[in-house]
Amino acid sequence: MSMQKQDQTQSWSGLGVGTDRKSFLDKVSAQIPDYDAEQAAEAVFCALTEELPGGLVQHLRDQLPPDVRPMLGACHRHRGEEPAKMDRDDFYLMVANHLNAEPENVRLVLHGVFAALHTQIVEAEAQKIEHQLPKWLQGTWAAARLQIDRPA
């Protein structure tokens, strides 16, 4: 009788499957190597928290590894302000300005951060988030979850 070697994946004790800040940022870097992973994640998280209801942001935060959670906190420029619903152009511009990137590259950044984020949360939470996103952002969220349609 042969014994099969089982691969063990690091995990933390939260609801999601995330491991830690370094592994999350490594996943972001792998997706978008031309951008600073931490800055990209913060830019996307800042804009995302403007779009999602507060309760859903808290559920998402609870699933993240403890050392990633502060990255999902309200953007330092917007603390104390009410989240404002944005249209697509405003959302993309917010991410571009935060990251000091060209607006035409924002979809690539969103896809990269979303793909890394999907590795940190459970599928049920990913689906809840998708349903709360505006239609113009749902496609990028779903494509990143399914690891398809990566922008060039």
DSSP per-residue letters across 26-91:
HHHHHH-TTS-HHHHHHHHHHHHHHHS-HHHHHHHHHHS-TTTGGGGSPPTTTTTS------HHHH
Q: How confident is the model at residue 123 (pLDDT cuts 50, 70, 90)?
A: confident
CA atoms of 49 and 138, how far apart (whole Å): 15
pLDDT digit string, tens, across residues 2-54: 444 333 344 433 445 567 889 899 999 999 999 999 999 999 998 988 888 88
Q: What is the pLDDT of residue 35?
A: 93
pLDDT digit string, tens, across residues 68-118: 888 887 565 555 555 666 889 999 999 999 899 888 899 999 999 999 998
Q: What is the pTM of this model?
A: 0.81
Give the domain ranges of the chain.
21-146
| CATH numeric code, 21-146 | 1.10.490.110
Q: What is the pLDDT of residue 39?
A: 93
